[in-house]
A and B are shown apart, each in its own frame.
Chain A
Amino acid sequence: MERNKLSTLFSALLLGLSALGWQACSQGNSETSDLPYLGERQLVQREVDGQQVTDTAYHRIPDFAFINQDSQVVTSLTVQDKVYVTDFFFTTCPTICPKMKSQMLRIYEAFEDDPRVMLLSHTIDPKHDTVAVLRDYADRLQVNSDKWHFVTGEKDSIYSIALQYMVSAMEDEEEPGGFVHSGAFVLVDQNRHVRGIYDGTDPAQVDRLIRDIPALLPKKKKKKDADKN
């Protein structure tokens, strides 16, 4: 009996310690803004003062143009200088999409008043998900189109940009709803570099995403707050 008690105490202590350690670690992470650059890198040679210099070019999302729920064109210019989170879904999805959307809503609410952050959801079923359908969907989610764009476009352009975000999406008659796709949320910085990929159906990963976003934002706002105090 005595021994049992001791070992329970010991495991509780261990658990507490590891929780603390984990927290300290993850806090350190989000403060130092050292989120990785994901995707393939290219080495670029360049001449500076007659010397050969090698730069690393990070994988960058190419230019794009889609149409959102307000029939407005959304391009790479729309996300210029913004940090954005993007995903791929379809409105009639019988599986993970509503969960993804309820998690995306948490990000929406966390950064609702910060114009430096945007959300971009692509439909992978443009045949069904017309502008009108996306409009209705966004209305029912009660979200603002300046902050959260639901876009449609040429099927090929959508599927090829998904590859650039390193998200799998394709048609498959065998799958429920007719499409395979991942529930990934992709975090993209102001220069269209991918800085994180998270499981958009897992609240714990979305917690981390919400903590990671500020690491990409310029520290200006914080300073101002400090000045005020």
Chain B
Amino acid sequence: MLIKTKILLYGAGIAALLTLTRCFYSDKQNEGERLYTQYCANCHMDDGSGLRNLIPPLAGADYLENHRDELACIIQHGQTGNIVVNGKNYNQGMPGFEHLSKGQITNILNYVQTNFGNNNPRFSIQEVEKQLFKCRHLLEQ
């Protein structure tokens, strides 16, 4: 009888812990999704598919892997000039989002890296901070 209650208690404890971490995790996930919908989906679409040869896809984009080191700066400062994504040329220009914090950029990037069928490694806030440090001169313009 006693053992049973103990197991039950442990079980409840683990369940509570799980829900808590899930909450915490999905909060961040939610912020990433919310920011994506607010700032990115207009162009890259809700499913990350992009728009023909005008707007590059984020879903299954080789660019996310090949240019991982530049992604935080692309979001903060935008991008112009010709780029190649999955073998196709794009040259339309993306505006920057200078008001986004490094935490917000991290959440957006992690949303992109783990959705739309993508399964790329996540970003830590330190990694994003390091990337942004490299393009900080663009902020002073």
Contacts and interface: CB of A to CB of B under 8 A. Distances in A.
A142 B53 contact: yes
Interface size class of A (residues with CB under 8 A): 10 to 19
Interface in B1-55: 41-43, 45, 51-55
A96 B55 CA distance: 13
A137 interface: yes
Specify the main secondary structure of chain A where it touches its partner. Answer: helix
A105 B54 contact: no
A140 B54 contact: yes
Interface string A94-118: 1111110110010000000000000
Contact of A92 (B41, B51, B53, B93): B93
A219 B2 CA distance: 80
Given A92-B93, A94-B95, A99 B53 contact: no
Contact of B55 (A98, A105, A142): A98
Contacts of B45: 98-99, 102
A105 B42 contact: no
Given A98-B42, A99-B42, A105 B52 contact: yes
Contacts of B55: 98
Interface string A125-146: 0000000000001011110000
Given A98-B42, A99-B42, A99-B45, A141 B95 contact: no
Contacts of B42: 94-99
A139 B95 CA distance: 22
